[in-house]
Structure 1
Amino acid sequence: MITSRAGLTAVRRVAKPSTFFTATALTTPMQVRSAATQSLTPADGQSILAKQRLQRPVSPHLEIYDKNQTFFGSSIWQRFTGMFFTGSLYVYSIGYLVAPLAGWHLESASIAAAFATLPVVVKGGFKVVLAWPFVFHGINGVKHLVHDSTAKGFRKATIKQNEYLIWGSSAVVALGLAFLL
């Protein structure tokens, strides 16, 4: 019987409300926010979403960038040359797959024979157009690897100097590849 009395006393103490808690709860200013909802048809919901989308900012246009910033040039051209390679690969691959159905001759012998009939200047120009993106992408990729591994060369003067070096060397090497090979 004494154990049941001890348990009952413990339960009563736990169940007794705290005077500190109730006083604090009554004096603390509480905010009450009621949620207002309304039923919408799917068409009404879509029209509300369309109005909200019109208020969102549009992604920035290229005109907001400062053209005088030196890092803008070689970095964006790295991406352009990569896209050039990817696009060329896709166009040639799809053309090679469609060629038998369309009656085109994209075999190596046909392309070499057609290229041999072109004048030397046109051949050289065509090779420059193909060689320059490759050379620029390679040289600029090495620059990016050096920047990533050494964390040096990030002063504006150094960036500008490296950019001139990359543009000049890629032009010279591309011309050499086009007209000497």
Structure 2
Amino acid sequence: MMSTRALGLGPSLRKAAFSPKILRNQVAFRTAIQRRSVQLNSVPASSSVGILNKQRLLRPSSPHFTIYQPQLTWIASIFNRATGGALSALLYGFSLAYLVAPGTFDSAHIIEFVAGLPDVVKYAGKALLALPFTFHSFNGLRHLAWDSGKFLSLKGVYGTGYAVLGATAVSTIALVLM
């Protein structure tokens, strides 16, 4: 059983128990008297939308970009979501294109098209495909390690974050130079 000291209620309970009854009644009376009057106005539905839009413009935006220092953890999280979305969109886009026009998007035509490109475009394209794929793959392994209860300390989280970045850089360069 928890004591009032453990809960932090000791001073409040002592103050309430030992204050004179007349003083307790005056505090209750004062709080009952002081009330704010709230004015209600009926407005048509069209103007209520305008009022809400004006209020939304005055609200602050989410503060994480404006007040917090960028950290490896949230930058990696954002990049992981972006690479997952981009890779999914690429897979679904290519799959739908292959279903619509299988003669145009078969392997022979794609290899012929890529062979005709300049080397700079080939390397840039390989880098644009390899970077998100390798980062998302290694970060997925990092998340699997977290799910198994490993590397959950602050040191472990940053260590695995830098390991993911290093493995991503090395494997992206290796895939581009293949």
**What range describes the TM-score normalised by the shorter chain of this pair?**
0.5 to 0.7
TM-score normalized with structure 2 length:
0.62
Partner amino acid for 1:56?
R
The reply to whether residue 56 of structure 1 matches residue 54 of structure 2 is no
List runs of 5+ in structure 2 lacking aligned partners: 1-27
Give the counterpart of 1:71 among 70, 73, 78. Answer: 73
Deviations 1:106-140 (A, max 9, x none): 34322110112234554344223212211111111
Give the counterpart of 1:165 among 157, 163, 171. Answer: 163
| Residue aligning to 1:138 | 137
Change (3 A) 1:153 1:105: same
Q: CA deviation at 1:141?
A: 0.7
Change (3 A) 1:91 1:37: same
Deviations 1:74-130 (A, max 9, x none): 222211211221232354456557769xxx943432211011223455434422321
| Residue aligning to 2:83 | 81
How large is the Cα RMSD of the aligned pairs? 3.4
TM-score normalized with structure 1 length:
0.61
Change (3 A) 1:172 1:38: closer
Q: Any conservation in 2 of the 1:70–1:159 contact (CA below 8 Å)? A: no
Instruction: Give matches, 1:1-181, under 5 Å.
Output: 37-60=40-63, 62-67=65-70, 69-93=71-95, 105-120=104-119, 122-156=121-155, 158-180=156-178
Partner amino acid for 1:53?
R
List runs of 5+ in structure 1 lacking aligned partners: 1-27
Identity over aligned pairs, percent: 39
Structure 2 Cα separation of the partners of residues 91 and 61 of structure 1: 33
Change (3 A) 1:43 1:153: closer
Q: Any conservation in 2 of the 1:136–1:170 contact (CA below 8 Å)? A: yes
Deviations 1:18-70 (A, max 9, x none): xxxxxxxxxx9677998754433223333333333333333346343312x23
Change (3 A) 1:150 1:33: same
Change (3 A) 1:59 1:97: farther
Q: Any conservation in 1 of the 2:151–2:157 contact (CA below 8 Å)? A: no
Range with bigger deviation, 81-90 or 119-128:
119-128
